[in-house]
Amino acid sequence: MSARSRFWSICRDASVWRRAARLGLPVGFVQVALNQGDHWLAGAVSVAVVAKSILSPALSFLIAFTSAAATRAAALRSTSVS
């Protein structure tokens, strides 16, 4: 199996998506609450606040997805070597 097909196989793995969602999204929503919560509560919502509120969970999810995919790749490598 080539490296590219192995990469896409890992990216399609449901366990990678579940782990990224379980770890990344709650962290992103906490970041939104801490960083933009005062703007939302005050009603001072602008395009920038909405954009930041969307990007924070997305970035946290992407970081968690990358970590979960790397963990899955390492696990597959260790089982194929054994």
Q: How far apart are CA 37 and CA 29, in angstroms?
A: 10
Provide the pLDDT for residue 81. Answer: 65
pTM comes to 0.84
Provide the pLDDT for residue 55. Answer: 96
In the chain, what are the domain boundaries? 13-81
Tens-level pLDDT at each residue, the chain (82 residues): 787 888 889 999 999 999 999 999 999 999 999 999 999 999 999 999 999 999 999 999 999 999 999 999 988 888 876 5
